[in-house]
Amino acid sequence: MDHMAGLGAFMQAAETRSFVAAGRQLGVSASAIGKAVARLEDRLGVRLFHRSTRSITLTPEGVLFLERCRRIVCEIEAAELELSQRQEAPRGKLRVSLPLVGMLLLPAIGAFVRTYPEIELDLDFTDRLVDVIDEGFDAVIRTGEVSDSRLMTRVIGTFRHQIVAAPGYLKARGTPQTPANLLDHSCLHHKFPSTGKLERWPLHADGGALDIELPATVVASTIEPLLSLAEQGIGIACLPDFVVARYIEAGRLVQILEEHTANAGTFRLLWPSTRYPSPKLTAFTEFMAKHLFGVTIRK
């Protein structure tokens, strides 16, 4: 404790450049400040201040030591803040950007709201690449890799694409046996809203990726229309497994070319880099990592 008192006396004297002012700030005499600093210098074996009858100034060693002391104090304050936040119930507004896959996310979102009624969710559904920090989002859920060093990231789930069609369509048009057979079929494509480019189907053959320009019977910027059209027998679609799982189980869609599709996607939760995230953000991150897929596919 005497060591901490000595550090406090040194830092206050260094900030005010006066033993008198430092004593006034700490509620002790200037003599007590001077003695505390002298004991600290004796213990360290260096002189921290140049002293004169009118002022004190830091020595080079004192400047270095002050910087270290400031870091220590910042760490202590941050630790106190973290502990105090952990005592608080998660509450307040949480602004989150989500991709346009409501059928996956909404069951988990609903469960989260029921679990944390004091958190107010402000949800922005879009497939465009938002700027998490500049646009003021607390968190963002997206697929793919992340290259922004300003962001923290956590994987909250993985998925695969599956090529599917309705039983009626396959009965009428035949079942493709190879990726090349798709050239003779109606194909339903997802278009990235931000670029206008079609999402490539992950077709493989003989251990290598195939780059085939497939017919574009229908193009849509969201997944739901493609799912509905595929179920109606309009054509063949390539959709995430979490979208089509229940339709396949019910026999409303059939997976094809399974041995020729090989890819895996990743859902990530991103948030502005901070050493001590708020309780509401921590609650959202932990809940989505645990429940995102458990609430939906395996329901």
The DSSP code sequence of 165-201 is E-HHHHHHH---SSGGGGGGS-EEEEB-TTT-PBPPP
pLDDT per residue as tens, the chain (299 positions): 466 778 888 989 998 888 988 888 888 998 999 899 999 999 899 999 998 877 889 999 999 999 888 888 877 777 776 666 665 678 889 999 988 777 778 889 999 999 999 999 999 988 777 788 888 889 999 887 767 778 888 888 888 999 999 999 999 999 999 999 999 999 999 988 778 889 999 999 887 888 889 999 999 988 889 999 999 999 999 999 988 999 999 999 999 999 998 777 888 898 888 766 788 998 999 999 888 876 443 33
Q: What are phi and psi of 27, to 5 degrees?
A: 80, 30
The pLDDT of residue 123: 92
The pLDDT of residue 296: 40
The pLDDT of residue 299: 30
Residues 227, 163: contact at Cβ < 8 Å?
no
Cite the DSSP H helix spans in the chain.
2-16, 19-26, 30-44, 60-86, 102-115, 167-173, 223-231, 241-249, 279-291
Beta bridge partners of 218: 188
CA–CA separation, 236 vs 164, rounded Å? 6
Residues 49, 56: contact at Cβ < 8 Å?
yes
Query: pTM for this one?
Result: 0.61
CA–CA separation, 68 vs 288, rounded Å? 39
Residues 156, 292: contact at Cβ < 8 Å?
yes
Residues 164, 254: contact at Cβ < 8 Å?
yes
For residue 62, give Cα distances in angstroms to 41, 42, 112, 190. Answer: 10, 13, 52, 64
CA–CA separation, 105 vs 101, rounded Å? 6
Task: Return the HEC string of 104-153.
Answer: HHHHHHHHHHHHCCCEEEEEEECCCCCCCCCCCCCEEEEECCCCCCCEEE
CA–CA separation, 168 vs 253, rounded Å? 9
Residues 258, 136: contact at Cβ < 8 Å?
no
Please work out, in degrees rounded to the nearest 5, the angle formed at the alpha carbon of residue 222 by the alpha carbons of 219 and 223: 90
Q: Strands 151-159 and 265-272, how do they pair?
A: antiparallel
The pLDDT of residue 71: 85
For residue 19, give Cα distances in angstroms to 58, 63, 67, 207, 219. Answer: 13, 17, 19, 76, 76
